Amino acid sequence: MGLLITAGWNTARDQTWVCSNASSTVMQCPAPLGRPNPFFSNEKSLPIFRIMHVAIVNRLQLDWSIINVREHPVLLQKTLLTTPPLPDGTFLHCTYTVTVYTGYGVELQVKSVNLSEGEQLSIRGVDEGGALLVLANHTLLVEGQVIRSPTNIISVYYRSSPDGSMGMFQLHYQIFRLSCALPRRPHFGEVSVLDLLPGGTARFHCHMGYHLQGAVALICLNTSLPVWSSKEPSCRALCGGSVKNATVGRILSPSPRLGPTATHDRSCSWSLEAPTAQRLHLHLERLALEPTDRLVLWSGLDAGSVVLFDSGRGGPIPFEGVISEGPAVRVQFITDQPNHNTGFNIRYEAFERGHCYEPYLQNGNFSTTDQVYGVGAVVQFSCDPGHSLEQGPPVIECINARDPYWNDTEPLCKALCGGDLAGPGGVILSPNWPEWYGEGEDCSWRIHVGEDKRVLLEVQLLNLSDSDMLTIMDGDEVTPHILGQYVGGAGPFKIQSTTPDFTVTFHSDPAGLVFGKGEGFIINYMEVSRNDSCPDLPEIQNGWKTTSHTALVRGARITYQCDPGYDLVGRETLTCQLDLTWSTQPPFCEKIMYCSDPGHVEHSTRSLSDPKLLVGTTIQYSCYPGFILQDGSTLTCYGREPGTPVWTSKLPHCVSEESVSCENPGLPDNGYQVLSKRLYLPGESLTFVCYQGYELIGEVAIKCILGNPSFWSGPLPLCRANHDCFGNHALEVAEAAAGSGLDGGNMALAIFILVLLLSVLLGGAYVYVTRCRYNSNLRLPLIHPHPYSQITVESEFDNPLYETGGDTREYEVSI
């Protein structure tokens, strides 16, 4: 996942320090006046940028390169620079904005903060509407603190002190997946969430008797702040209805309509029809009517049907229920002002003649001796935790073979208002749960466990009105210590006592009709071992851990690090939280199986066998024309134990051919070069040949060796005269004669020498053939040019034979 990082600077005098070609992931405010300072650095060898140019302009915003923070978490820092302070009256405004793709947020961890007086540092988020939200400022920042953005944008603002002094801060940031908020459970309904991440769904359904108003399923949308596709639905009891083939269900008084302009249902009618030859049992679970309200039950749908119950007649309320004479029942409810505190709940069920109806117990269970509930069947009731059995016996029996019925009504399981609780665990419910709690409730629950134990409360649901209050106290009522007081709503949370006693009190406003009321609360409690510290975490394989405290008390931190050659996967630092659990799962060390990028070589191209640079990857470097590669052209990534994979050799270099060439060493006396030129590249050879009658002493060919500077593999060879060959000796004499001036006195001597040569020529022929023929390339040209001195090479030569600049004399020798 890439990050787009933007940053802008401006001084109090509307000035901006500008830098060019920025490319990295760690930010710090630049120093003014053009001093080169590190602008970025990265703990994972990402590119490092230094300020190359600083100028003053009116305003500028810089766009930084995109980086991959999955592989490279990054560090945001501003350090104290060793430069003179800013000019008087000038100070820096630095804003760092990190924007990630939708569906992701930015998690910021405080590494260190050390600011001087007058400096400001604040961390800001952006809400869905684009408004800035201050998440934290320098007065609240502590080392190790983690701050998460609510959307895909987070901003860090820094302002230097007016006196020009600058402190330092380091902030490490990385991405995390944003998710939708847990959808609100509808009153009188349930919600099941498959996934809170974008694309996840939440499904809703209502309790028996209520109807869903809205979408059955919501989808988490991938936006800057993930939201559900629509508003959560609600569960409402409708005014009237008709049920065919009724078997089991519930009829409820209509839900009040909200809003000042809402109209209210004044008369509602329901009709129920069971299968033929069956009867209906109606159980009055709740009946609370205003003096002007009226509820009427008829055994039949006709106007002249028998009345089973009429609240307007003032008779006793049949809490044991009523039974229809036939398969149909009609219910009518008339009211002036529907509200949550008045109304009724009627549960109905169909049963066959000759049997008792199936009992029902809300918030409880029952067992029976007869699954079809014939005459003689016995049923025993029990309530769920947090409820008490009321308004009926725990055991009932089906009697009367002629017209079977239960000898008593089913009891009720009601959530109590307070009480003394003991045992290893249980639940505390708001009074009258799951119905609305009443006004003016004043409840107190006292929880006691063993002296060597503690109590852990897990608040699963808390939904109160703003005028109602829930208080949680550590200890008994004699020596209480308030841990928290809550009004309104709150998400799930945990809280633990420091003593064997916990006290929970609840007070609801007597004027609840004016201020409204909440849904209630569900609190689970359990007995836990006496412990004031988090559990110790295991050692990490191929790494080690360090702790900030000797005892792992609340707030203690454990920091993990890996051995060389391993990468840490997971969060580096874990914190012991208030509920004595660790902030996240321990990380682990993963073997590094890749080499770091060795980089590019100037004046060259490279080819990679694997862009991920895993072990075994090879990189081949090739220089541009006119350049020569120094060192090896191929690098290979190989693993080593222990340690991090490394490259087989260091980076090569591409140098110009001229800078590493060998110059022509010159000619040996009495010899010449084969294919001579001015410069020779490393690896090229130069061959030497002697003139006729001379023997080569030394290397025939020498090679240019790469170095700094380059050099020849050996010295210049020598051409030495071969004294064993008479012919050569004669030529030497001739050459000596040719090299001397010819005057009248020497001419006679020259003629004498020639005659002497002719006289011994025949005798020397044999010696020449047998001894010198294969030791010399001697020829006797009629005309032979001879150089007088060594040639100094100053230009390229393409011919192995060179002309001298002096005079040349020719002699003819006749045989």
DSSP 460-484: EEEE--TT-EEEEEES-SSS-EEEE
Stronger pLDDT, 572 or 784, i.e. the higher one: 572
* Mean pLDDT for all residues in the chain: 76
Residue 61 reports pLDDT greater than 70: no
Flag whether the pTM goes above 0.75: no
Cα–Cα distance measured from residue 158 to residue 166, given in angstroms and rounded to the nearest whole number: 10
DSSP 127-153: -TTS-EEEEEETTT--TT-EEE-SSSE
Decide if 412 contacts 285 (C-beta within 8 A): yes
Measured CA angle at 8 (ends 5, 10), to 5 deg: 170
In the structure, what pLDDT confidence band is assigned to residue 767 with cuts at 50, 70 and 90? low
Residue 22: predicted pLDDT: 29
Q: CA–CA separation, 431 vs 306, rounded Å?
A: 37
Output 495 or 243, whichever has higher pLDDT: 243
Structure token pair of residue 645: 């994979």
Instruction: Compute the CA torsion angle 323, 325, 329, 330 (nearest 10 deg).
Output: -100
* pLDDT at residue number 763: 63
Task: Give me the pLDDT at residue 31, please.
Answer: 37
- Tokens matching residue 739: 């090299």
Closest CA to 123 of 145, 105, 147: 147
pLDDT at residue 788 greater than cutoff 50: no
Single-letter code of the amino acid located at 356: C
- Tell me the sheet residues that pair with 611: none
pLDDT value at 288 more than 60: yes
460 φ/ψ angles, rounded to the nearest 5 degrees = -85, -40
Q: Where are the beta strands (DSSP E) in 598-752?
A: 604-608, 618-623, 627-630, 634-638, 646-647, 653-656, 662-663, 671-674, 679-680, 685-690, 694-697, 701-705, 711-712, 718-721
So what's the pLDDT on residue 477? Answer: 66
CATH topology for 2-177?
A: Jelly Rolls (2.60.120)
Q: Rounded distance, CA 393 to CA 398, Å?
A: 14
Q: Return the amino acid letter for 527.
A: E
The answer to whether residue 735 scores a pLDDT higher than 50 is no
Q: What are the pLDDT digits (tens) for 658-686? A: 888 898 898 888 998 888 888 888 888 99
Superfamily holding 241-414: Spermadhesin, CUB domain (2.60.120.290)
Whether pLDDT at 233 is above 80:
yes
Query: Strand order of the sheet with strand 241-243?
Result: 241-243, 267-273, 328-334, 294-299, 306-310
pLDDT, position 515: 52
Taking residue 362's Cβ as centre, other Cβ atoms within 10 Å add up to 21
Q: Give the C-alpha separation, 674 to 676, whole Å.
A: 6
- Is the backbone peptide bond immediately before 642 cis, with ω within 30 degrees of 0? yes
**Angstrom distance (rounded) from CA 684 to CA 705:** 8
Give the separation between CA 333 and CA 252, rounded to whole angstroms. 10
Question: Quick one: pLDDT at residue 274?
Answer: 92
**pLDDT top residue among 640 and 793:** 640
Look at 781 and 200; give whichever has higher pLDDT.
Answer: 200
Residue 225: closest CA among 102, 327, 113, 335: 102
Question: With the C-alpha atoms ordered 590, 580, 183, 132, is the resulting torsion angle positive or negative?
Answer: negative
pLDDT in tens, 680-714: 888 889 999 999 889 999 999 999 988 878 899 99
Rounded to the nearest angstrom, the gap between the alpha carbon of residue 428 and the centroid of all alpha carbons in its chain is: 39
Residue 131 tokens, joined: 């408004």
Tell me: the pLDDT tens digits for 369-410? 988 888 899 999 998 877 888 878 899 999 988 888 888 888
Closest CA to 186 of 213, 208, 157: 213
Distance of CA 236 to the CA centre of its chain: 42
Residue 117 Rama label (left phi>0; alpha psi -120 to 50; beta) = beta
DSSP 141-197: --TT-EEE-SSSEEEEEEE--TTS---EEEEEEEEEE--PPPPPPPTTEEEEES-SS
Residue 358 · residue 281 · CB < 8 Å? no
- Beta strands 104-114; 146-148: pairing state: antiparallel
pLDDT at 765: 61
pLDDT score recorded for residue 144 = 82
Instruction: For domain 543-591, give the CATH number.
Output: 2.10.70.10
User: What confidence score (pLDDT) does residue 259 get?
Assistant: 58
d(CA 444, CA 472): 10
Residue percentage of the chain with pLDDT more than 90? 14
Minimal CA–CA distance to 558: which of 532, 585, 579, 578? 585
Fold (CATH) for 189-236: Complement Module; domain 1 (2.10.70)
Q: Beta-carbon neighbour count of residue 91 at 10 Å?
A: 22
Looking at residue 265, what is its pLDDT? Answer: 61
Domains 189-236 and 241-414 share a fold: no
Q: Across residues 747-773, what is the average pLDDT? A: 65
pLDDT in tens, 99-150: 888 888 888 888 888 888 888 899 998 877 778 888 888 877 888 888 888 8
- 451 to 455, 515, 617: CA distances (angstroms): 11, 42, 65
Given this structure, which CATH class describes domain 416-529?
A: mainly beta
Q: What is the mean pLDDT of residues 164-172?
A: 82
For helices 726-739 and 744-767, angle between their N-to-C axes, nearest 10 degrees: 170
Q: Domain 604-658 belongs to what architecture?
A: Ribbon (2.10)
- Provide, rounded to the nearest whole percent, the portion of the chain with pLDDT above 70: 76
Q: Are 575 and 549 in contact (CB under 8 A)?
A: no
| Model confidence at 331: pLDDT above 60 | yes
Residue where the block lists tokens 């007065």: 139
The residues spanned by each domain of the chain are: 2-177, 189-236, 241-414, 416-529, 543-591, 604-658
Q: Is 497 exposed, middle or buried (0-12, 13-18, 19+ CB in 10 A)?
A: buried
Between these two residues, 53 and 282, which has the higher pLDDT value? Answer: 282
Closest Cα to residue 391, out of 369, 423, 368, 414?
Answer: 414
Query: Which residue type does 142 have?
Result: V
Whole-angstrom distance, CA of residue 561 vs CA of residue 555: 20
Helix (H) / strand (E) containing 514: helix 512-515
